[in-house]
Amino acid sequence: MPPEGYPEDSLHEMKPDAALKAESAAMPSGHPNVVHGRIGVLLLNLGTPDATDYWSMRRYLKEFLSDRRVIEENRVKWWLALNLVILTVRPGRKGRDYDKIWNKQRNESPLKTITRAQADKLGAMLAKTDKRISVDWAMRYGNPSIRSRLEALAAPG
């Protein structure tokens, strides 16, 4: 939202420095200083295992299926089902399924390949309009983690 007194589309016409000054002027009194530097964009996807072997699949399924927002079931009942049945049988089966579609060149799932390509294309497109923009990607479950990629985006400022 543009600062008060500016038309809706006025920031698009301003140079980045002018837009930043106008934005800072619109901050309420007492607002902490905002460091203007690079702009990070993080694309998120649901998640994917790191490999198709039993233990990689098990790690991914455990993280995903242990999330209370994914499975809304009695916790004791779900823990028993997950740890005694699902995580003993499903990793092997799902690993074989994943192996059929696995990107062997990059040794990663198709979801990682697609998400990386989207981030690369978006980053190239946005860099043409503003060199300060850096685009990265992460997975909610699995790797790369959201925390690791936010830290990587924050490191250069």
Q: pLDDT tens across 47-66, in order?
A: 999 999 999 999 999 999 99
Using pLDDT thresholds of 50, 70 and 90, give the confidence band for residue 83: very high
CB 86 within 8 A of CB 65: yes
- Rg of the chain in Å (alpha carbons): 22
Residues linked to residue 138 through DSSP beta bridges, in sequence order: 44
Residue 151 has pLDDT above 70, yes or no: yes
- What's the whole-number average pLDDT of the chain? 87
For residue 132, give the amino acid letter: R
Mean pLDDT of 131-157: 93
The confidence score (pLDDT) of residue 155 equals 85
